[in-house]
Amino acid sequence: MLKIGILALQGAAREHIRQIEELGCEAIPVKSVENLNELNGLVLPGGESTTMRKLLDRYELLEPIRDLALNGIPMFGTCAGLILLAKEIAGSDTPHLGLMDVVVERNSFGRQVDSFEVELSTRGIGDDIPAVFIRAPHIVAAGENVEILAKHEDRIVLAREGQFLGCSFHPELTEDTRIMKYFIEMVREYN
């Protein structure tokens, strides 16, 4: 059985755990370096990216997660998780994990009160995918090896680069598991 970790320091971990278990995998909440052992994939959930970064530093998880990536472990970042994955954050000097060749802009769809839900057509996953946007970032620029999977209002909101999947919205807040299923298939490819 595949073991999928979910960074559980802050943010929407519980909803990701539910989807992972629904799809027949073991979900491992990651709160310490020990929880990273024997993972086949890792989800970086939504939340508040600056707070998540402080917690990654406090629990000394930043470098071990980077090491997992260098060892080929697939990673899926949703909302703040996308910001953690990005090699560059618009208006910031320093990335967090700096793994995925994208530039992201924070809060590009507005503040909390501007949250909304739409249905997206995605490349290779399906149509009518429900997408919940909450203080969502978007991908401003993508490297040549980044495959753009979905856009909303001409902004890139879902993309893949090799073992990395980055998503502006919160698929875990819906009953639709197709994006998580896509990530689990990525994990199977790399294991």
The one catalytic residue in 79, 105, 152, 167 is 79
89-94: long-range contacts, CB 8 A cutoff, minimum separation 24: 90/140
Q: pLDDT tens-digit profile of 49-68?
A: 888 899 999 999 999 999 99
Q: Confidence class of residue 114 from pLDDT cuts 50, 70 and 90?
A: low
Catalytic residue flag (residue 172): yes
Place of tokens 């073992």: 163
- Residue 110: per-residue pLDDT: 66
Q: Is the pTM of this model over 0.85?
A: yes
Out of 15, 105, 161, 172, the active site residue is: 172
- Residue 88 annotated as catalytic: no
Q: In whole angstroms, what is the distance from residue 153 CA to residue 146 CA?
A: 19
Tell me the CATH number of domain 3-190, given options 3.40.50.880, 3.40.50.2020, 3.40.1260.10, 3.40.1380.10. Answer: 3.40.50.880
